[in-house]
Amino acid sequence: MASTFLSVPLHPSSSFPLITCRTTTTNFASRTPREPPPLTSVCQNPNPGFTAPSSLTCSLQCPHFQSCSGCTHEYNLHHPAIVDEATDFFKTLGVSDFTFDSCRLWGWRCRAKLAVRGSSTEPLIGLYQEGTHNIADIPECKAHHPRINAAVELLKQGISDLCIEPYDEDQGTGELRYVQMAVTTYDTSLPVSQRYQNGKVQVALVWNSRNENSPSSEKLNALANYLWRNGGRRTKINLIHSVWANFQTSTNNIIFGNRWRHLIGDAEFWEHVGGIDVSLAPSSFGQANTKAFDSLLRKLQKYVPHGASVVDLYAGAGVIGLSLAAMRKCRLVKCVEVNRESKMSFGKTVERLPASLDCSISWHQADTSVEPLSWLVGSEVVVVDPPRKGLEPSLVDALRTMSSVELKSKLPERGQR
């Protein structure tokens, strides 16, 4: 996961600070699925007498590290070298309280998009090897929430039992192209201490057909039913939250097509981060590291003055903006996002905000790089959380034009936060 937030109290004719936080590290028997191993985290001992972990105790110890492109750090997960670089960088901008919270070092990834290749008898589910189109099968991924690995194992079993053909990129043939697994850790029927480890997985199957009326749809439904029968609500493992289908026939690298169908299980998927309940449809962007995102949001909230007027650019389903709206009692929150699929989740999240909240909240489907100044005008705080490619030059220019000076004088003092 890479998250870049910029929280800028704006002031005409001044230069703005960039606050960047990046958090990475990165046999089902068909009818008796195996419980995933317990989550451990030897580097996160909160006891006061705790001695600093060595780089070896904080090593990834993942059998897939060499072949899989997912993680870039093997050692010193609790303190990657880039943290010092980032700390120094922010000092040069006058930001002296940059902190790094690694949160979980293993089992942190609650959302994964994985390619499905190989054959029905030997399916491979994982990520591309660096610079190739070969798939690294990663059944023991240490970054994944263990329930994702368990769901992948069940899916493989289903592929084999039902003779589902994984996608063949060269030929454009096969049925199952990708799978997105998203874990919700918010189950209020469980004590708080048990919720994370017992997360449930929303499975989105990317199917190689135009829609649900294609001849292969019977197999798609059979696979969804298989996952539900062997991992759904009524099973002991209670692993699968729901199953969705996405239909994609394009030969480009875009994972999802435009057509989505809910197949089985709960249609609504809720998580609790930044102090609010958030709804996330599989078609909307969701942060991969739920715990780190929560911690980041709580930190971000302290930088935003009460009653502020906020614009959240690259907003997805508006989680950052809405969390600020609720926790900082903002006067106005505008969320700007290009993917129209995110709007529905935004709407559901808004419905669960406190009724007493006196905030003008809106969501706009727009490309932030087109006339970006129009979004910035009237906002005291700008939040940006762009995709990995970063901010478009037109937005950078607009931010420079609008820029603020006195970050320090605008930000509340530590004790006041």
- Of 189, 105, 129, 118, nearest to 159 (Cα)? 118
CB 139 within 8 A of CB 146: no
Element (H, E) at 292: helix 290-301
* Residue number, 227 or 297, with CB nearest to ligand SAM: 297
* Residue number, 140 or 367, with CB nearest to ligand SAM: 367
Neighbours of 202 (CB within 10 A): 26
Determine the Cα–Cα distance for residues 316 and 293; give it in Å rounded to an integer.
14
- Of 102, 241, 105, 108, nearest to 184 (Cα)? 241
* Residue number, 25 or 323, with CB nearest to ligand SAM: 323
User: How far is Cα of residue 173 from the mean position of the Cα atoms in its chain?
Assistant: 30
Q: Which residues bind ligand SAM (CB under 6 A)?
A: 285, 287, 314-317, 319-320, 336-339, 367-369, 385-387
* Residue number, 60 or 300, with CB nearest to ligand SAM: 300
Cβ of residue 279: shortest distance to ligand SAM, in angstroms? Answer: 12
| 416 annotated to a ligand binding site | no
CB 173 within 8 A of CB 165: yes
Place of tokens 């004719």: 13
- Of 325, 184, 348, 204, nearest to 264 (Cα)? 204
User: How far is Cα of residue 8 from the mean position of the Cα atoms in its chain?
Assistant: 23
Place of tokens 């589902």: 164
| 337 annotated to a ligand binding site | yes
Cβ of residue 296: shortest distance to ligand SAM, in angstroms? Answer: 9
* Residue number, 209 or 290, with CB nearest to ligand SAM: 290
Q: Give the pairing of strands 309-313 and 276-279.
A: unpaired
Q: Label residues 252-276 b or e (16+ Cβ within 10 Å = b).
A: eeebbbeeebbbbbeeebbbebbeb
Cβ of residue 17: shortest distance to ligand SAM, in angstroms? Answer: 19
Cβ of residue 385: shortest distance to ligand SAM, in angstroms? Answer: 4
Determine the Cα–Cα distance for residues 330 and 327; give it in Å rounded to an integer.
8
Cβ of residue 354: shortest distance to ligand SAM, in angstroms? Answer: 21
* Residue number, 124 or 317, with CB nearest to ligand SAM: 317
| 365 annotated to a ligand binding site | no
At 2, list the tokens.
């890479």
* Residue number, 338 or 353, with CB nearest to ligand SAM: 338
| 186 annotated to a ligand binding site | no
Cβ of residue 118: shortest distance to ligand SAM, in angstroms? Answer: 30
Cβ of residue 51: shortest distance to ligand SAM, in angstroms? Answer: 35
Annotated binding site for S-adenosyl-L-methionine: 287, 314, 337, 385
Annotated binding site: 287, 314, 337, 385
